[in-house]
Structure 1
Amino acid sequence: MKLLSTEIKNNVLQSMERTLDENRKAILDANKKDLELFNLEDQAMYDRLIVTESKIDGMIASIKEVRSQEDPVSKTISTKSLENGLEINNRTAPFGTIMIIYESRPDVTIEAAVLAFKANNKIFLKGGKEALHSNTILTELWHKALEENGLSKNYIQQLVLNREETQMFLKNPPEKLDLIVPRGGERLINFVKQNATGAVLVSGRGNNFLYVDENADWEKSVKVILNAKTAKISACNALDKILISSKIENYTEKLEDLYKLLQVNGVETLVDNDVNILIEGSNLIKDASVWKEEFLAMKCCLGAVDSLEEAIEKININSGGHSATIMTANKVNAMQFMEEVDCAAVYQNASTRFTDGGQMGVGAELAISTDKLHHRGPLGLKQLVTNKYYIFGDGQIRE
């Protein structure tokens, strides 16, 4: 693939910023069509689907932020001179062609495309049918920005496919797919893994845990729990599971207070056997598999553990590998938790809601990767490149 200059890429992004601003009404009108066709029963998906003036501002801001970032392509990673005279230069290089499959969020059409393009990749955007009108207008605006700068529309392509057509595309793509990102729930991830012939990077599944250690500040813990659980239930960084140390001071009283507070805030709370015994009328977890579920709803699980080690084990068995928090004033316990919990982001005394490219200083993100290869956590501009070795010689042969 031809490498575009940083100037050309930034010119396209500047054109797109202006084009988005000039076409606000068309974007909102298209989104209104999607909202009118949508089933309001799925509140989390509805929240992700809706586009407002402030969301358009956010789209423009994300493009500006990426435009301001250093071009990640052709950066030297390492150099080495061998005794035989060979000069070896390891440099960053584009992936080539990326495909992202996502549900409901039109802003992904902006963020995924801006990152892929700035990193000199082509991208196929496969959004959900519920956002068809919104994604179509945004893709058309991308094409306008590309053509204004003399570039092909092929850099950013929208796919309008049903499930069977998507399956065939994954099995027999029209060109090699170098990276496929399913950004959604377990069902979508499994579907892509079963059918894709290219490399798959998993993103989107949360099921995040918070453990309240016996050395925790209780007021801080409650504040963090409510923020992580209720601030944005549609986000993959929302809290789903709460574990409380049975050794915390005034254990029963604090359990009852937290349970009531969650109820008051509209959170359906399921509890384990230990908590159920202490809280009259609480809703007992009847199937242990619920500990592995991501809710994306005003719903959570509340359980008790007797030790830090038990909390770590329960998290590692059940979490989605996204984010986990320990609430504690004990630095030794915090470090043990953060080192041993197998998640992309681990926190001490902070909400899981910060697992976000913008919040973590990465900028716009393609996804939050829960895989360990090739990257874990927010997948920003610097992570949308691979590497290539450049070897310069003068007739050397291997004896």
Structure 2
Amino acid sequence: MKGLTEQQRNSVLKTMAQLIAEERTAIITSNKIDVEAYKGDDLAMYDRLKVDDAKVDGMILSLQQLIADVDPVGKELYNFTHENGLKMTNKTAPFGTVLIIYESRPDVTVEAGGIAFKSGNKILLKGGKESLTSNLKIVELWHKALQKNNITTNWVEYLNYNRTETQDFLQHPTQKVDLIVPRGGEKLIAFVKQHATCPVIVSGRGNNFLYVDTEADVELALKVIINAKTAKISACNALDKVLINTNLINKETFIKTLITKLINEKVTVLGDTEISKFENVSAFDDDAIWYEEFLDYKIVVGIVTSMEEAILKINTYGGGHSAVIITKNNETAQSFMESVDSAAVYQNASTRFTDGGQFGLGGELAISTDKLHHRGPMGLQHLVTNKWYVYGNGQIR
């Protein structure tokens, strides 16, 4: 399809924001059908599924931020003039068609769809069956917004496929797909990677670690751990693992206080050999648990003998998403942050900040744990590829 101007794209987004505001009650009512039909016991899935006034406000805000943001298309990245007079310019360009496969979250139908559209891409949306009624209502509004601006509805398409149909589309797409972004659990990501025939950006897996150094401010550590674990257990930026240096001063007092605070927040505490000796801690019998992302009121706490051991453990088991060191020693923190293989690394702050909005990107399409073509929160400015423009007057080689 012929590309749209920035003015056209912004006009559609503005109309979409107005329609969502006008249809707020209808969106929440549609969502209620999905919520009442959901029979699963997955707390994270349920939390992501539910749409209330706050989530609708978030949808509108994400569109307003996109309108205000700089156009990501056509930005000059590099220019070079050859000795023979050829002028070469590298500029950002849309991918073409982006397929977003996601679970449960109707707000993704607005936020991710808006990011893809503003960056000049056609959007294929494939939501989960648990949020179908909500998603179809929102896509209906996308189509109205496009029609009101005399633009074809082909720019936003919803794939109402079951699992078998989705697999067949991934393996034998009926239209050209340039990029796929799966947002959801590990099973969804593995399914997409197994069957896709075009590039995939992996997003959504957390399994985030926090390391308490010997020079930690323990009160700060407690505050950060509780926030990172309990503020939103359904988020991929929630905390799953805590590693404590065995040489921490007053280690036993800190561990007892941490366990008590976690228990008070209804978090199940699992511990390694040393931690499981404490009251209200359950031992685990399989080290594979270090690989798990919980998305639940569950956490693993373990002891390490050094920062180097903590780094090795994080790089071995972590999801490549976010990692934290709690320490007053800035040199130690810098060494940790440079050595840990995660998209976002922190000193003395909660993993909950790994988010497009919190990182100043506005909304986010995904939080990529891949290294190509982008890593970490993926906002509007990142959903583009590049293209070379070469201007000559008869040069040959």
Q: TM-score, normalised by structure 2?
A: 0.99
Aligned partner letter, 1:242: V
Residue of structure 1 equivalent to 2:317 = 318
Deviation, 1:4, is 1.1
Contact map agreement 1:91 1:389 (CA 8 A) in 2: yes
Contact map agreement 1:176 1:198 (CA 8 A) in 2: no
Residue of structure 2 equivalent to 1:365 = 364
Structure 2 CA distance for aligned equivalents of residues 243 and 140 of structure 1: 48
Residue of structure 2 equivalent to 1:342 = 341
Contact map agreement 2:178 2:199 (CA 8 A) in 1: yes
Q: Does 1:256 align with 2:231?
A: no
Residue of structure 1 equivalent to 2:71 = 71
Contact map agreement 1:91 1:388 (CA 8 A) in 2: yes
Contact map agreement 1:94 1:121 (CA 8 A) in 2: yes
Can you give the 5+ residue segments of structure 1 that lack an aligned partner in the other structure? none
Structure 2 CA distance for aligned equivalents of residues 79 and 280 of structure 1: 64
What pairs up with 1:286-305 in 2 under 5 angstroms? Answer: 286-305=285-304
CA deviation vs aligned residue, 1:253-303 (integer Å, no higher than 9, x gap): 2112211221111000100012223x1452111110000000000000000
Residue of structure 1 equivalent to 2:87 = 87
Residue of structure 1 equivalent to 2:216 = 216
Deviation, 1:174, is 1.4
Residue of structure 2 equivalent to 1:105 = 105
Contact map agreement 2:209 2:324 (CA 8 A) in 1: yes
Residue of structure 2 equivalent to 1:121 = 121
Aligned partner letter, 1:345: A
Structure 1 CA distance for aligned equivalents of residues 252 and 52 of structure 2: 44
Contact map agreement 2:269 2:280 (CA 8 A) in 1: no
SS in 1 for 2:160: coil
Which is further off, 315-324 or 257-266? Answer: 257-266
**Count of aligned pairs between the two proteins:** 397
Structure 1 CA distance for aligned equivalents of residues 338 and 280 of structure 2: 37
Q: TM-score, normalised by structure 1?
A: 0.98
| RMSD, matched Cα | 0.9
What pairs up with 1:34-183 in 2 under 5 angstroms? Answer: 34-39=34-39, 41-183=41-183
SS in 1 for 2:300: strand
Which is further off, 292-301 or 182-191? Answer: 182-191
Aligned partner letter, 1:35: V
Contact map agreement 2:259 2:280 (CA 8 A) in 1: no
Deviation, 1:44, is 1.3
SS in 1 for 2:360: coil
SS in 2 for 1:157: strand
The percent of aligned pairs where both chains have the same amino acid is 57
CA deviation vs aligned residue, 1:183-229 (integer Å, no higher than 9, x gap): 11111111111100000000000000011101010000000000000
What pairs up with 1:220-299 in 2 under 5 angstroms? Answer: 220-277=220-277, 279-280=278-279, 282-299=281-298
Structure 1 CA distance for aligned equivalents of residues 280 and 5 of structure 2: 65
SS in 1 for 2:274: helix
Deviation, 1:3, is 2.1
Deviation, 1:322, is 0.4
Can you give the 5+ residue segments of structure 2 that lack an aligned partner in the other structure? none
Structure 2 CA distance for aligned equivalents of residues 69 and 94 of structure 1: 16
Deviation, 1:176, is 1.8
Structure 2 CA distance for aligned equivalents of residues 310 and 325 of structure 1: 14
Deviation, 1:41, is 1.8
- 4+ residue runs over 3 A deviation: none
